[in-house]
C-alpha cells in the first residue's frame, strides 16, 4: 500500500510511505521531485506506478492541476504534464481505465462560491499527455464517487450521475446517489453505493446499479452499520467491507459491516483489535485483508496508525472462505462438511479426493467401491468362484474358495449340476441343487448311471449382484435358483 500527501499536525504534506502487509513494515518514499504538498487530491495505480493529481495546496492556498508519477521500484518521481490538463480542482474523482487515468468533476475552491465542474481529462502516463473528456451529456458534480467497470467509468453524486466511455469519449445516464461522502465499489457485475450524508442526515442506505441494464435496486438496511459518512469500503471478491466514518455530530466510528450482495444481507465486522475510531481514512483491499490507515477524529487528532481486517473472499457464497477451510472457492458444492461423492473432487475439503462415505461402518467407502453402504455385510459383487473340488461319491463333497473376504460375509453360493456323457455337457439338464452360505456342499444324490457323470458349477450372489457360472451360455441355460 502506498500512501502520499494529506494533512498532518504541521500542515499539508508531500511525504508518504510504502507499507508491506506481509512484513508489517513501512518504507518512506522520496520527496525529491514529488508534487507540492496538498490535500483532497486523487491517486490511482497504473500497474507499475502511482499517479497523483489535483487537490488543494497552500503555496498559496488554492486548488492545483499539477501531479506526479511515482515509481516504487526506483523510488522516484516524474511530474505530470500541465499541457491540456484539466483546470485546478479538488473533490474530483479519478479512475485507472487500463491505459489512462480518467479525471472528472470537482470544484474550484472549497468555499461555497467555488465553480463545480463537468469537465475532466484522460491522462496517458507513458506519453505524459492529456486529452479532455467530452462535456456533451456530462453533469456538474463534486464529492461524488467513481468506479471503473472495465469498459466504463460510472460516477454518482448528490443530484446526478453518469457513465463515461473513454474510448468513444461519450456520456450516458448514470445513477444518482442523493448523497455526499459516500462510498462505491465495483463487484465485477454491479456498482454498490452505500452510506454518506444526504442533506442534514447521515445514511445507512445504499443501492446496487447494473451499468449494462441500467437497473438499480436498494440494499437492505437490516443488520446494516449505523448511518455514517467519511467511511471506507472495499470489495473482497464476495462481500463489500465497510468500516469507520463519522456521525452527523462528527463523532468518529470504529465499527463496520460486511454486505453480501447475493444474499442481500449484512453481518458485523469484528471489534477485536480494531483501530481507533476515525473517518476520512484510507482503506484498500490487499488480497486477503482490508488495510486501514490514517484519518482523523473529532477534536483534530490525526492518525498515523491503522489495522488489517482479515477476511478472505467467499466467492461461491457457500458460507466458507478460503481462510475458513474452503478448498475450492469457485464451487459452492465443495466446502468443509459437504457430502463426498465420487466425482474426482475433494468435496468436503479434508485433503482426500473421492474417499466417499462409510455409512454402514464396514471400513469400505462408496468411492472405494462399496456397492451397498446401507449393509455392513456386503461391499462388492461376487466374481468367478475358484478352486472347485469334488471328493468321493454318494455323497460327493464339494468345496471351493470363499469369497467373503472380497465381497462381504453375506455372500451365498448357488450350486448347479447336470448330466454329462460322451456327447458332452448338457446345460439344458441342469438344476439348482442348493443355495448355501458356506463354501462347501454335499451332493446326496445317488451315483450317476454307468457311462454318465455329473458336472457342477458354482456362483456367488449377494445384494450387490450375482456372479457367473463361467460363461454367458451356462448363465443363460441353467435355471435360476429359488
CATH code of the domain covering residue 404: 2.60.40.10
Q: Which pTM value belongs to this model?
A: 0.72
pLDDT of residue 359: 85
Shared-domain flag, residues 257 and 403: no
pLDDT of residue 422: 74
C-alpha pair distances (Å), 217 with each of 157, 190, 207: 16, 11, 5
383 located within any domain: no
Q: Single out the residue in 310, 337, 354 at which a domain terminates.
A: 310
Concatenate the DSSP letters of all residues of 111-167 into one string.
STTPPBP--EEEEETTTTEEEEPP-TT----SS-EEEE-SS-EEEE-SS-EEEEETT
C-alpha cell at 411: 455372500
pLDDT of residue 123: 98
First to last CA, the chain: 79
Contact 92, 66 (CB under 8 A): no
Shared-domain flag, residues 393 and 304: no
Q: Which residues of 36-60 are buried (b: 16+ CB within 10 A; e: fewer)?
A: ebbbbbbbbebeebbbbbbbbbeee
pLDDT of residue 237: 92
347 located within any domain: no
Shared-domain flag, residues 108 and 227: yes
Sign for the pseudo-dihedral over CA of 360, 362, 366, 371: negative
36 located within any domain: yes
User: Which CATH number fits the domain that encloses residue 17?
Assistant: 2.120.10.80
Q: Which domain holds residue 143?
A: 2-310
pLDDT of residue 401: 96
| Number of compact structural domains in the chain | 2
370 located within any domain: no
pLDDT of residue 86: 98
342 located within any domain: no
pLDDT of residue 168: 98
Going from the first residue of the chain to its last (482 residues), give the mean pLDDT of each consecutive group of 10, the final group possibly shorter.
93 96 96 97 98 94 97 98 98 98 96 92 98 97 97 96 97 94 97 97 98 96 98 96 97 97 96 94 94 90 92 79 85 90 87 82 84 93 94 90 96 92 78 94 89 90 94 85 82
Q: Single out the residue in 254, 283, 310 at which a domain terminates.
A: 310
Neighbours of 295 (CB within 10 A): 28
Q: Which of 265, 246, 269, 247 is nearest to 256 (CA)?
A: 269
Q: Single out the residue in 263, 295, 310 at which a domain terminates.
A: 310
Q: Which of 91, 106, 104, 211 is nearest to 163 (CA)?
A: 211
Pairing mode of beta strands 265-268, 256-260: antiparallel
364 located within any domain: no
Spatial separation of the C-alpha atoms in residues 370 and 191, rounded to whole Å:
50
305 located within any domain: yes
CA dihedral angle for residue 276, residue 279, residue 281, residue 284, rounded to 10 degrees: 90
165 located within any domain: yes
Shared-domain flag, residues 304 and 402: no
pLDDT of residue 329: 86
195-219, pLDDT tens digit by residue? Answer: 999 999 999 999 999 999 999 999 9
pLDDT of residue 381: 94
Amino acid at each position: 500500500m502506498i500512501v502520499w500527501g494529506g494533512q498532518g499536525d504541521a500542515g499539508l504534506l508531500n511525504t508518504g510511505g510504502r507499507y508491506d502487509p506481509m512484513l508489517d513494515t513501512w518504507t518512506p518514499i522520496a520527496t525529491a521531485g514529488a508534487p507540492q504538498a496538498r490535500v483532497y487530491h486523487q491517486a490511482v495505480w497504473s500497474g507499475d506506478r502511482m499517479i497523483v493529481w489535483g487537490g488543494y495546496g497552500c503555496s498559496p492556498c488554492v486548488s492545483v492541476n499539477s501531479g506526479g508519477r511515482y515509481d516504487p521500484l526506483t523510488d522516484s518521481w516524474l511530474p505530470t504534464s500541465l499541457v491540456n490538463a484539466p483546470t485546478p480542482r479538488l473533490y474530483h474523482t479519478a479512475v485507472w481505465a487500463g491505459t489512462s487515468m480518467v479525471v472528472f468533476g470537482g470544484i474550484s475552491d472549497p468555499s461555497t462560491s467555488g465553480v463545480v465542474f463537468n469537465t475532466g481529462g484522460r491522462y496517458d502516463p507513458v506519453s505524459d499527455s492529456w486529452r479532455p473528456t467530452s462535456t456533451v451529456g456530462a453533469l456538474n458534480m463534486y464529492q461524488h464517487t467513481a468506479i471503473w467497470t472495465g469498459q466504463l467509468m460510472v460516477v454518482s453524486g448528490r443530484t446526478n450521475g453518469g457513465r463515461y466511455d473513454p474510448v468513444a469519449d461519450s456520456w450516458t445516464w448514470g445513477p444518482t446517489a442523493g448523497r455526499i461522502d459516500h462510498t462505491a465499489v465495483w463487484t465485477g457485475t454491479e456498482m454498490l453505493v452505500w452510506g454518506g450524508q444526504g442533506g442534514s442526515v447521515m445514511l445507512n442506505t445504499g443501492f446496487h446499479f447494473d451499468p449494462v441494464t441500467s437497473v438499480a435496486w436498494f440494499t437492505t438496511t437490516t443488520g446494516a452499520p449505523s448511518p455514517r459518512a467519511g467511511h471506507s469500503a472495499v470489495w473482497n471478491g464476495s462481500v463489500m467491507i465497510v468500516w469507520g466514518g463519522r456521525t452527523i455530530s462528527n463523532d468518529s466510528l470504529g465499527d463496520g459491516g460486511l454486505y453480501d450482495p447475493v444474499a442481500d444481507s449484512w453481518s458485523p465486522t469484528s471489534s477485536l483489535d480494531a483501530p481507533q475510531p476515525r473517518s476520512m481514512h484510507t482503506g484498500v483491499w490487499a488480497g486477503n485483508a482490508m488495510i486501514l490507515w490514517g484519518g482523523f477524529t473529532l477534536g483534530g487528532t490525526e492518525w498515523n496508525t491503522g489495522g488489517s481486517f482479515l477476511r478472505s473472499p467467499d466467492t461461491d457464497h457457500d458460507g466458507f472462505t478460503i481462510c475458513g477451510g474452503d478448498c475450492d472457492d469457485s464451487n459452492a458444492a465443495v466446502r468443509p462438511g459437504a457430502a463426498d461423492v465420487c466425482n474426482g473432487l475433494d468435496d468436503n475439503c479434508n485433503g482426500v479426493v473421492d474417499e466417499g462415505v462409510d455409512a454402514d461402518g464396514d471400513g469400505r467407502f462408496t468411492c472405494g467401491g462399496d456397492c451397498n453402504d446401507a449393509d455392513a455385510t456386503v461391499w462388492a459383487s461376487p466374481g468367478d468362484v475358484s478352486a472347485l473340488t469334488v471328493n468321493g461319491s454318494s455323497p460327493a463333497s464339494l468345496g471351493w474358495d470363499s469369497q467373503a473376504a472380497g465381497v462381504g460375509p453375506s455372500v451365498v453360493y448357488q450350486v448347479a449340476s447336470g448330466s454329462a456323457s460322451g456327447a458332452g455337457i448338457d446345460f439344458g439338464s441342469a438344476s439348482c441343487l442348493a443355495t448355501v452360505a458356506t463354501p462347501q456342499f454335499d451332493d446326496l444324490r445317488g451315483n450317476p448311471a454307468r457311462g454318465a457323470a455329473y458336472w457342477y458349477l458354482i456362483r456367488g450372489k449377494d445384494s450387490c449382484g450375482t456372479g457367473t457360472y463361467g460363461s454367458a451360455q451356462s448363465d443363460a441355460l441353467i435355471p435360476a435358483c429359488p
